[in-house]
Amino acid sequence: MDKVLIIGAGGVGKVVVHKCAQQKSVFKEIHLASRTKSKCDAISREIKSRYGVDIPTYAVDADKTAELVALINKIKPDLLINVALPYQDLTIMDACLETGTHYLDTANYEPLDEAKFEYKWQWAYQDRFKSKGLMALLGSGFDPGVTNVYCAYGQKHLFDEINKIDIVDCNGGDHGKAFATNFNPEINIREVTAKGRYWAQGQWHETNPLSVHQGFDFPAIGEREMYLMYHEEMESLAQNIKGLKQIRFWMTFGQEYLTHLRVLQNVGMTRIDEVEYEGQKIVPLKFLKALLPDPGSLGQSYEGKTCIGCVMEGLKNGQSQRKFIYNICDHAESFKETGSQAVSYTTGVPAMIGAKMMLQKKWMTPGVWNMEQMDPDPFMEALNQDGLPWQVVEWNSSIT
């Protein structure tokens, strides 16, 4: 197993191609496809110039299973790496089933007409993938992805049982724009404007969007205000981490970002339903996406760092423990290596590592799986080797 097809040529896709091309002994043949072939061609030229690796490119509409099947049958990859839009997860999984191809993605499926993040649609593929001897690895980004593996590592090595998890995500960088999103604007704004949710005492609790917040002292960045949100990795972690009583997800936002977002919401620009304008149907959020900066264009001027990790509380040998596992990633260093900013880098590197785990058969079990269900050790080792080193520290302060 050494041939991959990557679907998606945005900022994350660019990082994935770079990182795969750096490991020629694992990824002996790399193919790249997206709706816009010119984006693939630009990445291919860059990879050829930097690493001497040829990347064949293709145009494909990932909304259409038949087109995907035809492309997969032409290339015959061992593994498909899906870094397209979350709306397209199911059509791509269908194509993988039809062609007998292993599958990996970085974010769970969500329906186009509703900002609803659940794994139920993809978990429903479990029996079909298993019966065909195929593996589907879900959420191999950073959060979800690395954060899941951190929790699995904590469960295996640091705790006898984990009672509380707080996933914290801080982008302490500055891109110099008045308002821009660090990944696909449509997906980002849908996520941020949704109601918050957290899991405690065996059930889900809902909060108004960004209504719960508190300060947190992030290593290498400092004190930042972080806001409670819903994020998909909590759904699987709540099922797979033994002894868990509470799990929450927090993300930082600057006041300028929040002010712009509030105004856009108030005037209806974040709506995901169609409105009529001059005799045509348009979705305001899709129109807004067309006006905002391409996240892939932010890297050159980006300064500062990201810090993402998991604060875990639990028991070890009958004693209470609180640990923080985290990574620090530098925007400028990410751009120097791959031409992409750190938010794309921290998603693209784990996608490559997850693919490497599958191709090397360190992770290869038929069925549909979340990251924490795999052995964390080889993945954690690869993080240190492949650009996302992690630290474990004692953490004194509890998150209220």
DSSP 130-150: HHTT-EEEE--BTTTBHHHHH
Domain boundary among 84, 103, 138: 138
Mean pLDDT lowest among 23-27, 39-43, 116-120: 116-120
- Both structure tokens of 397: 């302060």
Whether residues 126 and 152 share a domain: the answer is no
The span from the CA of 56 to the CA of 96, in Å, is 20
Alpha-carbon distances of 62 from 6, 139, 266, rounded to whole Å: 11, 18, 33
H or E stretch covering 205: strand 203-207
Polymer length in residues for the chain? 400
Is 312:284 a contact under the CB 8 Å cutoff?
no
Q: Is the pLDDT of residue 88 over 80?
A: yes
pLDDT on residue 193:
79
Is 58:104 a contact under the CB 8 Å cutoff?
no
Q: Is the pLDDT of residue 182 over 90?
A: no
Torsion of CA 201, 204, 209, 210, to 10 degrees: 30
Whether residues 118 and 182 share a domain: the answer is no
pLDDT on residue 270:
78
Q: Is residue 27 included in any domain, yes or no? A: yes
Tokens 């080792």 belong to residue: 381
Q: Which residue has the higher pLDDT, 21 or 284?
A: 21
pLDDT digits (tens, 9 = 90+) for 286-300: 787 777 777 666 656
Residues β-bridged to residue 323 = 312, 394
Q: Is residue 399 included in any domain, yes or no? A: no
Q: Is residue 152 included in any domain, yes or no? A: yes
Whether residues 207 and 241 share a domain: the answer is yes
**Per-chain mean pLDDT for the chain:** 92
CATH of the domain at 229: 3.30.360.10
pLDDT on residue 258:
73
Total structural domains within the chain:
2
DSSP-derived 3-state class of residue 335: helix
Amino acid type, 57? T
Domain boundary among 98, 118, 138: 138
pLDDT on residue 185:
65
Q: Which residue has the higher pLDDT, 293 or 228?
A: 228
Whether residues 130 and 157 share a domain: the answer is no
The span from the CA of 298 to the CA of 108, in Å, is 25
Q: Is 200 exposed, middle or buried (0-12, 13-18, 19+ CB in 10 A)?
A: middle
Residues β-bridged to residue 284 = none
Whether residues 230 and 206 share a domain: the answer is yes
Whether residues 86 and 180 share a domain: the answer is no
Q: Is residue 363 included in any domain, yes or no? A: no
Q: Average pLDDT for residues 10-16, to the nearest whole number?
A: 95
Tokens 């785990």 belong to residue: 357
The span from the CA of 386 to the CA of 355, in Å, is 13
- Strand 319-330 and strand 280-282: the pairing is unpaired
The span from the CA of 302 to the CA of 305, in Å, is 9
CATH of the domain at 15: 3.40.50.720
Q: What is the largest CA-CA distance in the chain?
A: 68
Q: Is residue 304 included in any domain, yes or no? A: yes
- At 5, the pLDDT band (50, 70, 90 cuts) reads very high
Whether residues 164 and 183 share a domain: the answer is yes
Mean pLDDT lowest among 39-43, 93-97, 107-111: 107-111
Whether residues 246 and 329 share a domain: the answer is yes
pLDDT on residue 187:
67
Whether residues 257 and 333 share a domain: the answer is yes
The span from the CA of 191 to the CA of 308, in Å, is 17
Whether residues 64 and 110 share a domain: the answer is yes
Of 167, 148, 285, 185, which is closest to residue 229 (Cα–Cα)? 167
Q: Average pLDDT for residues 78-89, to the nearest whole number?
A: 95
The span from the CA of 361 to the CA of 29, in Å, is 17
Q: Is residue 60 included in any domain, yes or no? A: yes
Whether residues 167 and 290 share a domain: the answer is yes
Q: Is the pLDDT of residue 173 over 90?
A: no
Answer yes or no: pTM beyond 0.85.
yes
Is 343:183 a contact under the CB 8 Å cutoff?
yes
Q: Is residue 89 included in any domain, yes or no? A: yes
Domain boundary among 79, 106, 138: 138
Q: Is residue 33 included in any domain, yes or no? A: yes
pLDDT digits (tens, 9 = 90+) for 187-220: 677 777 789 999 999 999 999 999 999 999 999 9
DSSP-derived 3-state class of residue 310: strand
Tokens 């899941």 belong to residue: 148
Is 251:214 a contact under the CB 8 Å cutoff?
no
Domain encompassing residue 207: 146-340+387-394
The span from the CA of 400 to the CA of 398, in Å, is 6
- At 10, the pLDDT band (50, 70, 90 cuts) reads very high
- At 177, the pLDDT band (50, 70, 90 cuts) reads low
pLDDT digits (tens, 9 = 90+) for 335-387: 999 999 999 999 999 999 999 999 999 999 999 999 999 999 999 999 999 99
The span from the CA of 362 to the CA of 188, in Å, is 32
Whether residues 155 and 296 share a domain: the answer is yes
Count CA atoms closer than 13 A to 184's CA, side-chain side.
Answer: 18
